[in-house]
Amino acid sequence: MSTPTTATIRRAVVAAFDEIAGLLSNPEVGPALIRGDDVPLAGIELDSLTRFEIIMRLEEEFAIELDDDEVLAQTSVAGLVAHIGARLAGRAA
């Protein structure tokens, strides 16, 4: 199985955030996400259940296990995308 591209991973991350937390309709972060800009995760207020749902969605999407603490340590959407990419690359090796 080939490793998804960074763009594919980013689309999945943004889709998960939007489907679960409605972020694309958030005027503070939605436009930046649509443009493809990096967005700091600290500015996105999510409760613990929502964060858990997003992590579960990404695990399901990419058929990997993600460590909650490692995911929560990411400071931006780009960091989360890179983390998932690294996990996927490690799986493919």
Is a pLDDT exceeding 80 seen at residue 92?
no
Domain spans in the chain, listed from the N-terminal domain onward: 6-92
Q: Given this model, what pLDDT does residue 29 score?
A: 87
Is a pLDDT exceeding 90 seen at residue 93?
no
Q: What is the pTM of this model?
A: 0.89
Calculate mean pLDDT across residues 57-66. Answer: 95
- For residues 5 and 91, the answer to whether their CB atoms sit within 8 Å is no
Helix, strand, coil % in the chain, rounded to nearest 5: 70, 0, 30
36: alpha, beta or left, given left = phi > 0 and alpha = psi -120 to 50?
left
Match domain 6-92 to its CATH number in 1.10.3470, 1.10.1200, 3.30.1490, 1.25.40: 1.10.1200
